[in-house]
Copies of this chain bind each other. A is one copy, B any other.
């Protein structure tokens, strides 16, 4: 099941943990990476699990979520190829949220014990991890602004714009793509009801800003989308 992986040949290396390292270092890092397949609905980890590994998405999509005492769930983030998961567990050595595969995912697993050894060999690596964790913080902050201050329409626009940007970074079309998550997940992530998201998609379509059919989205007016989103930067 497990197999070796080569970060050197991976198109996503620049976005991922190896980003910024020199070729010999990337080669060394490759040696502790094991690639695995995870099926839709399987967990990479659950809140409370002790920290064993960090994970990099190679293909597919993963979502993380937090469960409240009353069972309420809040989706925290969607992870696309090249994104690193699990960094939040570094505080208590155990995961603070849960991660689940949204479709069939190929994941690169890095055992923490091996990663720590690697940190001694490659002095740039801890710094790189700090940076990725810093990005995690910045992303969360942008979401706090979204949830605290933005209207439903602005939230959806921000989400779509962010997906568009991230897909473009990964070499896909920024104007036409398939959403990997159902309406329920989008709504949950944005702090809205499923019906509200549905209505807003319809509204944006009538408005001519985009065409949507289920998961398939084609953006017609990127400028107006950006304006609606009025992002603070991030990602």
Closest chain B residue to A147, Cβ basis: B147
Note all chain B residues with C-beta closer than 8 A to A76: 141, 144
Neighbouring B residues of A91 by C-beta, 8 Å: 131-132, 134-135, 137-138
Q: Which residues of B contact A132 (CB under 8 A)?
A: 91
The one of B133, B142, B148 in contact with A90, judged by C-beta atoms closer than 8 angstroms, is: B133
Q: B residues within 8 A CB of A130? A: 90, 126, 129-130, 133
Of the four ranges (under 10, 10 to 19, 20 to 34, 35 or more), the interface on chain A belongs to 35 or more
Q: Are A87 and B191 in contact (CB under 8 A)?
A: no
If A72-B149, A147-B147, A148-B191 touch, whether A141 touches B230 (CB-CB below 8 Å) is no
Please pick, from B136, B147, B148, B190, the residue contacting A188 in the complex, using a CB distance under 8 A: B148
Interface positions of A from 109 to 167, Cβ below 8 Å from B: 126, 129-138, 140-145, 147-149
Interface residues of A (CB under 8 A from B): 66-70, 72-74, 76, 87-92, 96-97, 126, 129-138, 140-145, 147-149, 188-191, 230-232, 234
28 CB-based A-B contacts, threshold 8 Å: A66-B144, A66-B145, A67-B232, A69-B231, A70-B230, A73-B149, A76-B144, A88-B134, A88-B137, A88-B141, A90-B131, A90-B134, A91-B131, A91-B137, A92-B134, A96-B137, A96-B138, A96-B234, A133-B134, A136-B137, A137-B140, A140-B140, A140-B141, A144-B144, A144-B147, A148-B188, A148-B189, A148-B190
